[in-house]
């Protein structure tokens, strides 16, 4: 039986998962592939910690990455160290040595993907990255292959399990952000420094990749508007429920004519939408395509074994390419290079959305008419209003509105004016509402 | 640019959808594939009806299937006529002529799949069938490729939009089966003769395919236990809700040790399970795999454009195989031939399930203890009971129970005995409950 040798760089949690899958599921993998996918070596700075994996005697465990990189015996390199450097150098070196690479590193691809894909093409090897978005969910394969007959209208996802866990708990329990974050950290669902997750950066890295796959354009992380979830208050969940909505941190990429719109922010979505039904640490991606229509892909967005499932699927695909001598069979972003072109991004100020607005007003009777007046002058019409009776705490009262569709810039102009009114006690809370994903 | 010629047999609704996608999305397809996917000919008995598709001047439209079958200019044949014959002969003839085939025909594959796959292998061409299960949902690709590193524990699906529409409406409105079926027929969601759908046959055809993909075993439609939805009463939905469950027609395939369990029947599932959240005509497949864990794939299970999306994805995959000379790159059922072996199926009488039981009793006070006694003698323990107060209509009253896990044979024995009791007014209604999908 033909043998494909795999070298793993990074023996942390995910690395240990990949080793386990390759070893424990060796039989089912070769039953599918018709060849052996052999874990030939692992490189990590720490090769003494017990990872809970029984490694084969004849396997190389080394802290010298050079034993794997450029080694002509190793067909495929798995990069699981994360971050920009030395990941970028290692991946580059592998590709230049004509080793194919599998990575789960969304940050690396969001920043250096274009350059690394070019390197893979030049060297006629593959750079696969299923595990970089949505953990075990095969969303990259779906977009690159399964939707090949479609023009994609939009891709929207819940791509960060930490945020979805926190928002689910806040919604269920009426609890405060800081409180739930602390619980999430205790349970291991959030990092000690949760900034990357809760401020939306991790989600945006993933969205940068999905956007390029959907719309045939180079990866452009810096075009994404990013807002995190730390500003959401328990009251917002209660009002969302009254409107029939849920609050999720959504990654949104839409095609609007020739323009692309990409943004990550807390979003109210109707409670009967499939994305509203995704609870806890799970991820899901909702795709709207011209032939297929709406479809959704749901699963574990993180975790050692789920992520390993995606890594191994990539290994099997690349192994088939090696066996058939069909490297670069699927173009990196799903489109032939000539079709991947820079496209205009719509500035955030130009997007059209419905808005949830929570005003903190001193308890004055005239305040609603003043707010409505300023909104109206800026071309924003109100769809519905909830006005609390009396204030419970001190002298402010919440006035909550759902607007009809409006332009972001118009809303910002109106809010700048409104927030300067003496009757307004604090900056107005704004959450975008999406009904047509 | 290289050109791959496609011949379409069957110009009905789905065929028209495929023609539309190939023509309207020609650019995006060639941008992805790097070759032209050309609709070279269409054969149908009726070539005069207007299908709403503007066909190119140079395209062959014929009622002679022989103009396409075996024509060396045509690389791939699409079979969309449905049914067993002449579909089987046409597909066989294409494969024998070394034309690859794409089909949406679940009935054909459920009955003759093993023989047709063998023919494809012998002739070193591909027989792809993404559209045969779940319409546009790429579940075949997911099972054959994306989960390659996993052992599958179970696959459960809502695979028939007609049934899911009917059950959703019955649940929402408390309406009767016949009434909702009539509405579904008026709306075009159900056929004039709905037997294939509502009796579960269509779902079972699809399950036969999924079972083989999940468990590396030849297609065995006749091993599937099939029950339809026509016996479900509005009362069952009301009681299900009280227990916190929803009723769905589920296709279930599980691995239990070395045994396979395959069954199609109305099933109560906990309302917070993802499959319970699938409403209306949509389909979804829930997969439990050892590395990935739970995942779900959701979309339109029928309809001209969604099904066409799946057909075209297959065409693109096969076109890549033609270009790379890598036919049979993915084995037909996802496993190398030697690994596809007959496996024991668990007889239905041996399955373990929880059960919902609705007894129709004459309003006698002793009846509950008699039922409980007989269940107990047969090793079945009761998890909870709902007993209606007085009967509303005549002299029967409903006693509803949820059992703990029990063996199907034990339940059947108990019910045979219970249904003969003079205090029992009608055959007991049974719905299996699944909490661990």
The pLDDT tens digits for A360-393 are 998 777 899 999 999 999 999 999 999 876 655 5
What is the per-residue pLDDT across B357-368, written as a single tens digit (0 to 9) for each? 999 998 777 899
> Measured between beta carbons, which residues in chain A are less than 8 angstroms from residue B272?
279
> String of b and e for A57-82 (b: at least 16 CB within 10 Å)?
eeebeeeebebbbebeebbbbbbbbe
Contact B293 A277 (CB under 8 A): no
Q: In angstroms, what separates the C-alpha of B400 from chain A's closest C-alpha?
A: 30
What average pLDDT does range B264-291 have in this prediction?
A: 97
- From 3.30.70.270, 3.30.43.10, 3.90.226.10, 3.40.50.720, which CATH number describes the B3-136+304-339 domain? 3.40.50.720
Q: Where in chain A is the domain with CATH 3.30.70.260?
A: 348-433
Helical pair A106-122 and A87-96, crossing angle rounded to 10 deg? 20
Helix H or strand E segment including A94? helix A87-96
Contact B141 A146 (CB under 8 A): yes
Give this prediction's pTM: 0.97
Name the CATH superfamily housing domain A139-300: Dihydrodipicolinate Reductase; domain 2 (3.30.360.10)
Best residue of B76, B292, B304, B312 to probe chain A, by most A CBs closer than 10 Å: B292
Residue B137 · residue B206 · CB < 8 Å:
no
Contact A293 B300 (CB under 8 A): yes
Closest residue in A to B317 (Cα–Cα):
A145
Among A28, A290, A309, beta carbon nearest to B292: A309
Lookup: tokens for A239: 């009002």
Q: Where in chain A is the domain with CATH 3.40.50.720?
A: 3-134+304-339
Please give the positions of A annotated as active site. Answer: 206
Closest residue in A to B280 (Cα–Cα):
A272
Q: Where in chain A is the domain with CATH 3.30.360.10?
A: 139-300
**CATH T-level fold of A3-134+304-339:** Rossmann fold (3.40.50)
Contact A292 B315 (CB under 8 A): no
Q: In angstroms, what separates the C-alpha of A368 from chain B's closest C-alpha?
A: 38
What is the per-residue pLDDT across B186-242, written as a single tens digit (0 to 9) for each? 998 999 999 999 999 999 999 999 999 999 999 999 999 999 999 999 999 999 999
Predicted pLDDT at B390: 63
**CATH T-level fold of B350-433:** Alpha-Beta Plaits (3.30.70)
**CATH T-level fold of B159-300:** Dihydrodipicolinate Reductase; domain 2 (3.30.360)
Closest residue in A to B299 (Cα–Cα):
A295
Please give the positions of B annotated as active site. Answer: 206
Q: Where in chain B is the domain with CATH 3.40.50.720?
A: 3-136+304-339
**CATH T-level fold of A348-433:** Alpha-Beta Plaits (3.30.70)
> Measured between beta carbons, which residues in chain B are less than 8 angstroms from residue A292?
136, 299-300, 305-306, 309-310
Q: In angstroms, what separates the C-alpha of B318 from chain A's closest C-alpha?
A: 11
Q: What is the distance between the terminal CA atoms of chain A, rounded to a whole angstrom? A: 48
Closest residue in B to A305 (Cα–Cα):
B291
Among B149, B272, B295, beta carbon nearest to A298: B295
Among A292, A313, A320, beta carbon nearest to B306: A292
Predicted pLDDT at A203: 98
Q: In angstroms, what separates the C-alpha of A161 from chain B's closest C-alpha?
A: 14
Among B299, B300, B329, beta carbon nearest to A320: B329
Q: Where in chain B is the domain with CATH 3.30.70.260?
A: 350-433
A249 bridge partner residues: A266
> Measured between beta carbons, which residues in chain B are less than 8 angstroms from residue A146?
130, 138, 141, 310, 313
Predicted pLDDT at B437: 82
Contact B289 A297 (CB under 8 A): no
Among A347, A179, A178, A384, residue whose Cα is nearest residue A268:
A384
> Measured between beta carbons, which residues in chain A are less than 8 angstroms from residue B22?
149
What is the per-residue pLDDT across B301-346, written as a single tens digit (0 to 9) for each? 999 999 999 999 999 999 999 999 999 999 999 999 999 999 999 9
Among A21, A146, A334, beta carbon nearest to B138: A146
Q: Express as a percent the part of chain B with pLDDT over 70.
A: 99
Residue B310 · residue B302 · CB < 8 Å:
no
Closest residue in A to B308 (Cα–Cα):
A291
Q: Express as a percent the part of chain A with pLDDT over 70.
A: 99
Predicted pLDDT at A391: 58
What is the per-residue pLDDT across B34-93, written as a single tens digit (0 to 9) for each? 999 999 999 999 999 999 999 999 899 999 999 999 999 999 999 999 999 999 999 999
> Measured between beta carbons, which residues in chain A are less than 8 angstroms from residue B325?
324
């Amino acid at each position: 039986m033909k043998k494909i040798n795999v070298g793993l760089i990074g023996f942390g949690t995910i690395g240990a998962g990949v080793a386990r899958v390759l070893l424990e599921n060796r039989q089912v993998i070769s039953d599918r592939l018709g060849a052996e996918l052999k874990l030939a070596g692992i490189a990590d700075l720490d090769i003494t910690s017990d990872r809970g994996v029984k490694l084969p005697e004849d396997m190389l465990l080394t802290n010298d990455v050079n034993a794997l990189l450029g080694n002509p015996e190793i067909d495929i390199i798995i990069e699981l160290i994360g971050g920009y450097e030395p990941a970028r150098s290692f991946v580059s070196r592998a590709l230049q040595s004509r080793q194919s690479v599998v990575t789960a590193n969304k940050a690396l691809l969001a920043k250096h993907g274009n350059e690394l894909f070019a390197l893979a093409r030049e060297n006629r090897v593959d750079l696969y990255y299923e595990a970089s978005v949505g953990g075990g969910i095969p969303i990259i394969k779906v977009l690159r292959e399964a939707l090949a007959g479609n023009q994609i209208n939009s891709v929207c996802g819940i791509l960060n399990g930490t945020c979805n866990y926190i928002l689910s708990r806040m919604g269920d329990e009426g609890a405060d952000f800081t409180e739930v974050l602390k619980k999430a950290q205790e349970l291991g669902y959030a990092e000690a420094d949760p900034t990357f997750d809760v401020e939306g950066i991790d989600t945006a890295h993933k969205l940068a990749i999905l956007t390029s796959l959907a719309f045939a354009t180079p990866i452009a992380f810096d075009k994404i508007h990013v807002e995190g979830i730390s500003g959401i208050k328990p009251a917002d969940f209660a009002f969302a429920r009254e409107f029939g909505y849920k609050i999720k941190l959504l990654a949104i990429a839409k095609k609007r004519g020739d323009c692309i719109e990409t943004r990550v922010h807390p979003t109210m979505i109707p409670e009967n939408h499939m994305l509203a039904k995704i609870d806890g640490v799970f991820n899901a991606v909702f795709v709207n395509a011209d032939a297929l229509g709406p479809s959704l892909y749901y699963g574990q967005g993180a975790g050692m074994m789920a992520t390993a499932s995606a890594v191994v699927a990539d290994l099997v695909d690349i192994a088939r390419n090696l066996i058939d001598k069909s490297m670069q069979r699927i173009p990196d972003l799903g489109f032939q290079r000539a079709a991947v072109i820079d496209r205009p991004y719509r500035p955030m100020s130009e997007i059209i959305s419905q808005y949830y607005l929570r005003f903190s007003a001193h308890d004055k009777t005239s305040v609603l008419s003043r707010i409505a007046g300023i909104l109206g002058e800026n071309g924003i019409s109100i769809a519905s209003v909830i006005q609390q009776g009396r204030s419970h705490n001190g002298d402010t009262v919440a006035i909550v509105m759902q607007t009809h569709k409006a332009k972001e810039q118009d809303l910002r102009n109106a809010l700048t004016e409104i927030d300067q009114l003496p009757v307004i006690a604090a900056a107005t809370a704004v959450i975008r509402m999406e009904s047509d994903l």
